[in-house]
Amino acid sequence: MKIEDKLQDNYKYGFITDIETEEFPKGLSEDIIRLISQKKNEPQWLLEYRLKAYRHWLTLTHPNWQYCSIPPIDFQSIYYYSKPKTKKNAYQNLDEVDPELLETFEKLGIPLTEQKRLMGVAVDAVFDSISVGTTHKEELEKVGVIFCSISEAVEKYPALVKQYLGTVVPYSDNFYAALNSAVFSDGSFVYIPKGVKCPLDLSTYFRINAKETGQFERTLIIADQGSFVNYLEGCTAPQRDENQLHAAIVELITLDDAEIKYSTVQNWYAGDKEGKGGIYNFVTKRGQCRGKNSKISWTQVEAGSAITWKYPSCILLGDHSQGSFYSVALTNNFMQADTGTKMVHVGKYTKSTIISKGISAEKSQNVYRGLVKIMPSATGARNYSQCDSMLIGDECAANTFPFIDVKNSTATVEHEATTSKISADQIFYLQSRGFSSEKAISLIVNGFCKDVFKTLPLEFSVEAVKLIEMKLENSVG
């Protein structure tokens, strides 16, 4: 049996929640943006910010430097706002939420109700354009941690939002950042006050459900001096024949001695075996270590989406600040991924680590693209990068495009890269020790990804291993 035959697309989150929705008319215009802003009861400054972003977006053309082929996207045929039908525009508490919705999240393994909610993790659940609910809120409020949807934050903590929104990723940053800044709907907002070590892990779960709808989430996390937070993000979508757009912005800010650990397990629907359907995951994620000794760490397990195009990055401003990026990107069938990171060293003695593991199978394309930039001010900066690719079968491709730009002679920059292939002999070796061929592949792949998985919180790491196994599961077995 060929190795490729053992791989199949096995997506257990492909179901659709049959729920009445209300959406704005398809397409994008200033009127639609005004409607979104009005619906969310936003202050004037935010509407103006959106409109500025929109007007800027109109001047831009779709970028084409990426190493994946993206069919032209008709931005006028997308719904920019869709939410389950309710009388209100936001849910005050879970009693107001349609039971069908709660059931959906329960099916996804994210129970929200008081009795069933996950221990030790506070969850914000986002369904299409709206946050359904946030758990453990009171517990967090006791220590002053703010964790809510960004819409709620705009209403309740406008000063904080205004101070930080768009300061890490300006709307003019890129094509999709401009689009998101114009039309963003929901996402999470986190503020960890000075000296607080967040007592719970915080987590957002994103679900796209409605047809022909884009999800434009916006997440903003601020860790004030000496604070710490562990943040987890998960995502799924139904199995549909059309492509759907997910264009998010995530901004992280750490002040002096603060630390944010941000982990993503991305399992958007990736399309079928012929490459039909699937999510376009075009996301701008960036963190700024503003304070001295502050740390930001990105860990991502990218196992879904028809096209993944993102570079979670760190701008290391504060002296002695540290950024890291740990990534596993798995592509199979016709999936394409162009992902990596940017580490920009500005402060003195800043340090960054990049560990990237790309796995490609079948006809998929997997690209690592990275930038390590050492600015003239970054005396004594250090970077270590390791980019490994693994190929399964003969029809897939892996590419690595590392860019290194050093403007300070005291910096140390190291880059290592390998490419390997799972061979029939390797599988036979494991089989002859009693491992089934599926188990053998998953053991090899998990071994390959170990350095990344070990940076995930335990439950997430178990989840990630299962996800990779499921992706590589045999249809016959």
314-352 per-residue burial string, b: 16 or more CB within 10 A, e: under 16: bbbbbbbbbbbbbbbbbbbbbbbbbbbbbbbbbbbbbbb
Cβ nearer to other proteins, comparing 115 with 432: 432
Nearest in space to 20 (alpha carbons), one of 80, 84, 87: 84
Eight-state DSSP code of residue 4: G
Cβ nearer to other proteins, comparing 408 with 446: 446
Cβ nearer to other proteins, comparing 372 with 456: 456
Neighbours of 48 (CB within 10 A): 12
In the block, tokens 């930001």 appear at 296
CB of 322 to other proteins, least distance (A): 24
CB of 429 to other proteins, least distance (A): 4
CB of 365 to other proteins, least distance (A): 24
List contacts with other proteins (CB under 8 A).
1, 424-426, 428-437, 443-444, 446-451
Cβ nearer to other proteins, comparing 412 with 419: 419
CB of 230 to other proteins, least distance (A): 24
Eight-state DSSP code of residue 451: H
CB of 419 to other proteins, least distance (A): 13
Cβ nearer to other proteins, comparing 72 with 434: 434
CB of 328 to other proteins, least distance (A): 12
To which H or E segment does residue 21 belong? strand 21-23
Neighbours of 439 (CB within 10 A): 16
Cβ nearer to other proteins, comparing 192 with 427: 427
3-state secondary structure string, 52-101?
HHHHHHHCCCCCCCCCCCCCCCCHHHCECCEEECCCCCCCCCHHHCCHHH
To which H or E segment does residue 146 belong? strand 146-149
Cβ nearer to other proteins, comparing 383 with 437: 437
CB of 273 to other proteins, least distance (A): 24
Residue 30 near residue 51 (C-beta atoms within 8 A): yes
